[in-house]
Chain A
Amino acid sequence: MSNLFNIDIVNPEQSFLSKDNVFEVVIPAVEGEIGILKDHIPIISFLKPGIIRVFSESEEKSFYVEDGIVEFKDNTLSVLTSSIFDLKDADKNFVSESISSAEAELSKDNIDDQKRFLLNHKVEVLKSISIN
C-alpha cells in the first residue's frame, strides 16, 4: 500500500505548490515541529517562522514560512500562508532585510513575551538560512 498523501500550499495570490506524492512533511507548528505522515489524524494548527520540509519520492523541498495555518484532513495537507519562499531561490537581500527589521522590532520595549519569542525565533531561522 502506498504511503503517499497530498499537499497543497496556497498563498493569497495563487496556489504555491500542489503535490500528490509526498510521504512526509515537517512543519514548524507554533508549539514545535510536527512531522506528518499518511493517515495522520485531522489536525489544525498554525505556524511560527520556520522551514517547511516536503519529502516526496524523488526530491526534498524546503520552504521558509513566516506564519500560516495548516489543516490536515483526509490525507490532504493544506498550508495557508501569506509569506513563503523556496529556500533555493532565497534572496540574500530580502533575508538580511527581514533579519534587521525583526531585530529592530525586538529592540522595542513594548512587546510582549510571546511576540519576543516569535521574533527571536524568526531571527534564528533567518540567520541559519543566510549561513547556508
Chain B
Amino acid sequence: MPSLDDLRKRITSVKSTQKITKAMKMVAAAKLRKAQENAEKGRPYSEKMNNVILNLSKSITDKENAPKLLVGTGEEKVHLCIVLTADRGLCGGFNTNIIKKAKSYFEKIISENKTLKIITVGSKGYDQLKRQYKSYIVENISFKESKNINYFDADKVGKIIIEKFEKNEFDVCAIFYNKFKNVITQIPQEQQIVPLNEDKDDKDDSGNDNDYEFEPDEDEILSNLLPKNISTQIFKAMLENSASEQGSRMTAMDNATRNAGELVDRLTIEYNRSRQAAITKELIEIISGAESL
C-alpha cells in the first residue's frame, strides 16, 4: 500500500501531465483549422489539373507513343513507394496506420518477387521502417525546417521521382498518406501516381469533347504537364496528411486528457480513503489506550 506522500506526489504528477496534454490538444485544434483551410484552398488546383489531364488523355489516340508517365513503361517490376508521414509523434495511430498500410503493400511486392524501393517523407516513417526495410529505403526526406506545407517542398519530392523515372529506376510508383475525413477518422490511402490511374467511375462520358485546340500538340503538353501533376498529387497528399496529423493529435490528446482526469479522480479517492483510515486508526489507538487506564 503506497504511503500518503507517494499518492500525493502521483496526483500532482498526473495533473501536470494532464496540463501538457490539454495544451497540446488546444494547439492541435488551432493548427487543425488552418491545415483544413489550406487543404480546402489547395483543392481547386489539383481538381483542375486532373480535369485538364483527363481531357488531354481522352484526345490521345496514339496510345503507343503516349508519354510513359501516363501509360507506364509496360512492365511492373520495380515498385517505388513514397511513404508520407509526420515529423512528430504523439498523434495517436496516425503514423502507425500509414506504416501498416504500406507494410502490407511491401509484403505483397516482396512475395511477388518484384523489386521494392522506398522513399520516406517525414522522419517518423523512416524511424519505423528502418528496422525492417532498411535495405529498401533509397531516400529519406524530411521537411522539419519548413513551418508550413508549401508547394516548393512537394515539388522537390516530385523532381526526385521524375529524375528516377527518367533513369528507369522504377516502373510503378505509389504514395501512401492519410486522407482527412473528419477529426476522428483518417483513412490511410494508397494511391498510384505512375502510371496514372484514371478514375473512370466518377466521370460520366460527357460526349466526346475532342474539340480542344492544343498549342503546341497534345504530346508536348502532356509531357510538360505530367511531371507537374506528380508534384501536385504529392502536395495534395501532404496537405491531407497535415490536416490528418493535427486531427489525429487532437483526438489522441483529448483522450489522454480524459484518461488523466479519470486517473486523478481514482487516485484522489484512494488518497482520501487511506487518509481517513489513518485517522480512524489513530483514534482507535487513543480510545483503546484511554480505556485501558
Number of residues of chain B lying within 8 A (CB) of chain A: 30
Interface residues of B in 193-241 (CB under 8 A from A): 209, 211-216, 221, 224-225, 228, 231-232, 235
CB of B154 closer than 8 Å to a CB of A: yes
CB of B245 closer than 8 Å to a CB of A: no
Number of A-B contacts (CB under 8 A): 76
A12-B235, A82-B151 known; A42 and B211 CB under 8 Å?
yes
- Residues from chain A with a CB closer than 8 A to the CB of B189 are none
Q: Looking across the interface, which residue of chain A has its beta carbon closest to that of B235?
A: A12
Binds A, one of B42-50, B81-89, B104-112: B42-50
CB of B171 closer than 8 Å to a CB of A: no
Query: Complex Cα distance A123/B33, Å?
Result: 40
Query: Complex Cα distance A13/B231, Å?
Result: 13
- List the interface of chain B (C-beta within 8 A of A): 38, 41-42, 44-46, 48-49, 51-52, 55-56, 150-151, 154-155, 209, 211-216, 221, 224-225, 228, 231-232, 235
5 residue pairs A–B, Cβ–Cβ below 8 Å: A12-B45, A30-B216, A44-B221, A46-B225, A69-B224
- Residues from chain A with a CB closer than 8 A to the CB of B221 are 44-46, 69
- Residues from chain A with a CB closer than 8 A to the CB of B225 are 46, 69
Query: Complex Cα distance A71/B48, Å?
Result: 9
Interface residues of A in 1-50 (CB under 8 A from B): 8, 10-15, 29-31, 34, 41-46
- Residues from chain A with a CB closer than 8 A to the CB of B216 are 30-31, 45
CB of A120 closer than 8 Å to a CB of B: no
Contact of B232 among A12, A43, A73 (CB under 8 A): A12
Contact of A43 among B38, B51, B214 (CB under 8 A): B214
- Residues from chain B with a CB closer than 8 A to the CB of A69 are 49, 52, 221, 224-225, 228
| CB <8 Å contact, B49 and A80 | yes
CB of A62 closer than 8 Å to a CB of B: no
| CB <8 Å contact, A71 and B52 | yes
Number of residues of chain A lying within 8 A (CB) of chain B: 23
Q: Looking across the interface, which residue of chain B has its beta carbon closest to that of A42?
A: B212
CB of A75 closer than 8 Å to a CB of B: no
| CB <8 Å contact, A44 and B214 | yes
- Residues from chain A with a CB closer than 8 A to the CB of B224 are 46, 69
Q: Looking across the interface, which residue of chain B has its beta carbon closest to that of A32?
A: B215
CB of A98 closer than 8 Å to a CB of B: no
Contact of A45 among B42, B150, B214 (CB under 8 A): B214
**Distance between A71 CB and nearest chain B CB, rounded to angstroms:** 5
**Distance between B97 CB and nearest chain A CB, rounded to angstroms:** 26
| CB <8 Å contact, A14 and B212 | no
**Distance between A105 CB and nearest chain B CB, rounded to angstroms:** 15
| CB <8 Å contact, B42 and A13 | yes
CB of A56 closer than 8 Å to a CB of B: no
Q: Looking across the interface, which residue of chain A has its beta carbon closest to that of B213?
A: A43
CB of A96 closer than 8 Å to a CB of B: no
